[in-house]
Amino acid sequence: MAIAMTTGYSAQTEGALLCIEAASDWALTCVEQLAAQSSHVLIDYGAADGGTAVGLWSAVLDRLHERQPSAHLTLIGNDLPSNDNVALAENVARQIGRPPKPTVLVSCRSFYEPTVAPDTVSFGFSATAMHWLSESPGPLDNHTHVLASGDAEALKRFTAQAMKDWTSILDLRSRELKVGGRLLTVNLSRDEQGRYLGNNGGETRNVHDQLHQIWRELADEGVISEDIYRRGTVLNFYKSPEEFMAPLKDSNSAPYRNGLRLVDERTVYVKCPYRRRWDSDGDTQAFAEGLMATIRSWSRHSFASVAGDAIGDQVFARLKQRIADSPSEWSLDYVEHHQMMERVA
């Protein structure tokens, strides 16, 4: 799995917090519609250090407790074994102090595996995490991100891997859900105009092109070899709404056969909070530092894992300089797909 977040995740990702806030109305709808039970298990897949979702889970637990005061609630934070799972444990534990005094657990496993027993989960949630691919679909020769590469053959391979992964994630989640349980996914996506995280249709520079230019520069200067250049790939994929819905529209897919159905979907845009702040305060150094750190939080691993930490650091020193040199040309805007699902049988 080619992903690892840098430490201090939630301090560096104001945008991810806004993306979660934008989904909180649907999270509340999901738990409001749960049938009365003696207990409910709620799970946050790919929670990182859990800091960005503390407010969401407080609101969800309060609402479910209000509706079902005698139900025992369990909240599970999930992420990879390489995550800062101690910080995640501390953040989920922030829910214990007040009624409904939930039980809290941490699951340090991939969401490409079963995380709990079948028929366990009443409400599953995941934000800005399920775009990471489970394995490499082969080389990307001319770019660091497939969607910015213009390579039609590679796009086919990456799309096929992304669809296989998504169907497998929904298969696993649909087995874990109870009948009547809800799943809400909030995922980085690609809209009808081809916009995605870091590509706002040309309003500002494409962040993935910028990362690639820096990576190419390092190869041209002989700092990295051509082989390392080709292996530096951000192994994620931003699916379209149709791609997200496809396994739920196909009655032969595993998740459909497990009873998972689409309830609602929408695309939500979240503007870059670092850029918004720079627009009002003009503090270019703070903007360059903050924006660089948020981009680094999800992309550093793609470079450092193949070229080492020192070269990884060079990528982000150069990125910060580029932002500082022309701040008005930078913004990291989010395109997120919300998909609400229910297991009906």
Contact footprint for ligand SAM (CB under 6 A): 1, 3, 5, 13, 16, 20, 46-48, 52, 78-80, 83, 110-112, 127-129, 132, 298
In the bound state with ligand SAM, the residue whose beta carbon lies nearer, of 24 and 112, is 112
Q: In the numeric block, which tokens belong to residue 80?
A: 């990879």
**Nearest distance from C-beta of residue 115 to ligand SAM, angstroms:** 9
**Nearest distance from C-beta of residue 99 to ligand SAM, angstroms:** 25
DSSP symbol at 11: G
Angle between helices 284-307 and 273-281 (to 10 degrees): 150
C-alpha–C-alpha distance, residues 172 and 184, integer Å:
14
Spatial CA neighbour of 280 closest among 323, 315, 327: 327
In the bound state with ligand SAM, the residue whose beta carbon lies nearer, of 236 and 258, is 236
Q: How many CB atoms lie within 10 A of CB 310?
A: 9
In the bound state with ligand SAM, the residue whose beta carbon lies nearer, of 68 and 134, is 134
**Nearest distance from C-beta of residue 82 to ligand SAM, angstroms:** 7
**Cβ proximity of 274 and 288 under 8 Å:** no
In the bound state with ligand SAM, the residue whose beta carbon lies nearer, of 20 and 170, is 20
Q: In the numeric block, which tokens belong to residue 10?
A: 């939630």
Give φ, ψ of 262 to 5 degrees: -75, 130
**Nearest distance from C-beta of residue 23 to ligand SAM, angstroms:** 9
**Nearest distance from C-beta of residue 166 to ligand SAM, angstroms:** 12
**Nearest distance from C-beta of residue 44 to ligand SAM, angstroms:** 7
In the bound state with ligand SAM, the residue whose beta carbon lies nearer, of 82 and 328, is 82
C-alpha–C-alpha distance, residues 300 and 307, integer Å:
11
Longest dimension (CA), the chain: 65
In the bound state with ligand SAM, the residue whose beta carbon lies nearer, of 171 and 217, is 171
Q: In the numeric block, which tokens belong to residue 226?
A: 């051509």
In the bound state with ligand SAM, the residue whose beta carbon lies nearer, of 185 and 199, is 185
**Cβ proximity of 247 and 172 under 8 Å:** no
Residue whose entry in the numeric block shows the structure tokens 């989904």: 23
C-alpha–C-alpha distance, residues 93 and 90, integer Å:
5
**Nearest distance from C-beta of residue 111 to ligand SAM, angstroms:** 4
